[in-house]
Amino acid sequence: MDTIERIKQQIAENSILLYMKGSPKLPSCGFSSQASQALMACGEKFAYVDILQNPDIRAELPKYADWPTFPQLWVDGELIGGCDIILEMYQQGELQTLVKDVAAKQASEQ
């Protein structure tokens, strides 16, 4: 499976997915730390991919997403954005609503 196929599969299989540097518990950059903290504060489980452990994804995802930086938040197959957008949505209460709606939808499908 090539890298783009792997990215598409990860996005399809995880309704809330954060591509970041490091992990939510041990982020390797300030932006990834802020983004994962905002997501964790929403109170729902989310998947993440450490791009430092996956240099192929780190190289290919910006081209696939047409978004040059990390972290990248994908919800329900759609790119939401990076750290600034995540924090802005969180401060306005939009991120919490989006995450809870997607988590509830996923729970009802199982």
Range of the domain at 44: 3-103
- On whether residue 40 sits in a domain, the answer given is yes
pTM: 0.96
What pLDDT is recorded for position 85?
Answer: 98
Q: Which of the residues in the chain have pLDDT under 70?
A: none
- On whether residue 51 sits in a domain, the answer given is yes
CB 35 within 8 A of CB 83: yes
- On whether residue 108 sits in a domain, the answer given is no
- On whether residue 43 sits in a domain, the answer given is yes
97: CATH: 3.40.30.10
Segment 62-74, tens digit of pLDDT: 999 999 999 999 9
How many domains, in total, are found in the chain? 1
